[in-house]
Amino acid sequence: MDEAEASGQDVRAAATEGPDRARPVRTVVLRKPYLLFLGEETGALKAKTAFGLRDWAPGDCIGQVRLAGGRVDLGLPELDPEAAAAAGARSLVIGVTPPEGRIPAHWATLLCAAAEAGLDIVSGLHTPLDAVPGLAKAAARGRARLVDVRAAPAGLPRATGKRRSGKRVAMVGTDCALGKKYTALALARAMRAHGIDADFRATGQTGIMIAGAGIAVDAVIADFIAGAAECISPDAAPDHWDLIEGQGSLFHPAYAGVTLGLLHGSQPDALVLCHDPSRARMVSWPDYALPGLKDAERLYVRMARMTNPAARLVGVSLNTSALDEAEAGAALEAASRELGVPAFDPLRSRLDRAVEAILA
């Protein structure tokens, strides 16, 4: 394997011309299908990555493997690494988040066995995989790759700001962690069901694992975030749509910079505003209130029009998981009335009207 293959990165030619786009760009590409590693996790909340993969990429998940004491169950076949490799698995994905996002030392035995069986090891945790004792040597013996999806790819360019062919929808939000990824996945699936050529474009670690490719933009140096967004959604056929996973919020005191760079580089034709109506203040930042929907629409459209003057709001996605059916219905009706666009919950609503608004 050459350096790029060994690192889990795909070398792709730049999509647009220009001094910063003349060299190849490396983006993360994963090998499927997956064996999902659950460690000894007992709580579903700490296994969000694994459940996300099972729910959104079921055809790519061949089995699960747990350590003693693990009680999280995805309902997949129990396979050890050797059996999974024999069944066709290409990668073991760490699907749980241990304390502080660090790989425990006692995981090394199973991870090394998986690498020696030829499975790539895929992680979105803070511990670099080559820091796990013995894992790099085991991967070399098994001709497996160690893929840290959180790491920024090498060779990212600055943004050109030039328009690209194809069409794009960006998911934006009033806060973090309120459904931007699930909204993009649900819309991409709904558009394909309507016969539309559409792809989900991943910008975060779990999204990359679901899609099999992408760039974790929160790991990118600030000057290159917009350039990374251009690489994530390159030139495409005129009738192709990219559904771009959002990150952070323009209203967030810590993450607004990531959001703005991603928005400018995405050059979206359409915006979907994601919001949790049960929240009044930002998660973990209680000194900051969530903006009103109209305020959020105005700022996002204004910022998006810097690189695409035709950008427009086409829908509002509400995370109504904390609401009962009646409350959810009332919240959706109120949001649609306020913004004049279809409102939906990506996990509870039909998306036909949202698809129609995107295409209008």
- C-alpha–C-alpha distance, residues 229 and 245, integer Å: 10
Query: Does residue 4 register a pLDDT over 60?
Result: no
- pLDDT tens digits for 300-359? 999 999 999 999 999 999 999 999 999 999 999 999 999 999 999 999 999 999 999 999
State how beta strands 281-282 and 285-289 pair: antiparallel
- Tokens describing residue 267: 């050059």
Domain with CATH 3.40.50.720 in the chain: 31-148
- C-alpha–C-alpha distance, residues 356 and 358, integer Å: 5
DSSP string, 215-268: --GGGS-GGGHHHHHHHHS----TT-EEEEPP-S-TT-TTTHHHHHHHHHHH--
Q: What are phi and psi of 54, to 5 degrees?
A: -60, -40
Q: Cβ distance 106 to 120 under 8 Å?
A: no
Domain with CATH 3.40.50.300 in the chain: 167-359
Would you give the DSSP letter of residue 134? T
Give the architecture (CATH level 2) of 31-148.
Answer: 3-Layer(aba) Sandwich (3.40)
The topology under which CATH files domain 167-359 is Rossmann fold (3.40.50)
Residue type (1 letter), 182: Y
- At residue 152's C-alpha, the angle toward residues 99 and 36, to 5°, is 50
- pLDDT tens digits for 86-140? 999 999 999 999 988 899 999 999 999 999 999 999 999 989 999 999 999 999 9
- C-alpha–C-alpha distance, residues 317 and 279, integer Å: 14
- pLDDT tens digits for 57-80? 999 999 999 999 999 999 999 999
- Tokens describing residue 316: 């509002």
- pLDDT tens digits for 215-269? 999 999 999 999 999 999 999 999 999 999 999 999 999 999 999 999 999 999 9
Q: Cβ distance 27 to 213 under 8 Å?
A: yes
